[in-house]
Amino acid sequence: MQYRNVGKAGIKVSEIALGSWMTRLEDTAAVENAAQIVRKAWEAGVNFFDCADAYSGGDAEIFLGRVLKEYPRDEVVVSSKVFFPTGPGANQHGLSRKHILANCERSLKNLGMDYIDLYYCHRFDPTTPMEETLQALSDLVDQGKILYYGVSEEWSAARLERAQRIISERGLHPMTVVQPQYHMLDRYIEHEIVETCERYGIGITPFSPLAQGLLTGKYRKGQPLPAGSRATWQADRQINDLLTEENLDKVEVLRKVADGLGLAMPVLALAWILRLPVISSVIVGASKPSQLESNLAASGVELPADALAEIDRILGFRRFERHIG
C-alpha cells in the first residue's frame, strides 16, 4: 500500500480508503461480514476509513468505532461528515454553528473517539452564511475535536474560492480536503475544482470511483443484470441513470485496455484516478472481502502514457496535459 499527503497537510493516508456508505448492519451475519472487511483493509495497509453521521442513521459510525478500537488510534485516520438531518428539529440539519458543534459531539460519541481526523461538510447549505460554517469548523480544530476539515458535494470551484477568501480574511485554519464524486464517466471536477485544489494545496478524496459498480465490468451490454446487484434495486437511480448504451459501450472498450495491461477493470479505473497528484486517496466501498482485494491492487499502479491517451480517446474527453503530467 502506498500513502499520500492530504493536500499540503502533513497527514498521510493510504491511496485506497474504505468507505462506510455500503456497510450493511441489518443482522449479526452482516455485521461480522462488515467487520471482516474492515480488518482485511487494515491488514492490507489501509489506514483511512471514511464514514458519515448519515450512514445507517449513525449506526455506521458506532460500528466503525467499535472495530477500529482494535488498532492504535494514532495510526488510524477516520473521517465523518455533517449536514443531513439527525432528528426532526429545525436545528438538527444543515451547516449552522449549532448543528455543526452538536453533531461533532454526536459523531465523537458514536465513534467512541476523542477526535475526528477529517471532518467534511456533506453538502452545501444555502441557508447558512459560509462565514458561520467555516468559523465553526475552525473552532473545532482549535478545540482539538477535529484535526482537519473539508467539504464534499455541491461545493463548486466558485464556492471553494469564496471559502478561501473568508479563511484568509478571518485567519481561520485552512481547508484541507474536498470529497467530490469522480470517475471515468463523470470528470466534471477536472474543469475547475482540480485547479482550485492544486492552487490552495487542498487534497481530493473522491467517492464513487467505480461509478456505482459500472466500472467493475459486471454490467455487460446485451446481458441480464447480475442477480442482487445495485441495478436490480428499483430505488437506486444512481446506477440506473449510468446504465446507458453509450456508457456500456465505453466500458466494453475500456475492458480491452485493462486486459492489454494485465489489469482487472476495477484496478484500471482506480489507478486512472490516482494518476492525478492532487488525489490523496480514493474511497471505495465493499460488500464482501473479494471486492476489497480487487480494489486494493490499484495502489502503486502507474498507467503508461499511451494507455492514458487511449482512455481519453475512448471517453471522448480532451486531455489536460497539466493535470496528468
Q: Which residues are catalytic?
A: 55
Sort 156 into a burial class: Cβ within 10 Å, 0-12 / 13-18 / 19+.
Answer: middle
Coil, strand or helix at 132: helix
Among candidate residues 79, 65, 54, the one with its CA nearest the CA of residue 148: 79
Quickly list H helices, the chain.
Answer: 28-43, 59-68, 97-111, 130-142, 157-170, 193-200, 237-242, 245-261, 265-273, 289-296, 305-315, 321-324
Sort 96 into a burial class: Cβ within 10 Å, 0-12 / 13-18 / 19+.
Answer: buried
**Cross-strand partners of 284:** 18
**DSSP 8-state assignment for residue 232:** G
DSSP 38-53: HHHHHHTT--EEE--T
Cβ density class 180-210: b for 16+ within 10 Å, e for less: bbbbbbeeebeeebbbbbbebebbbbbbbbb
CA 219, 40, 7, 306 dihedral sign is: negative
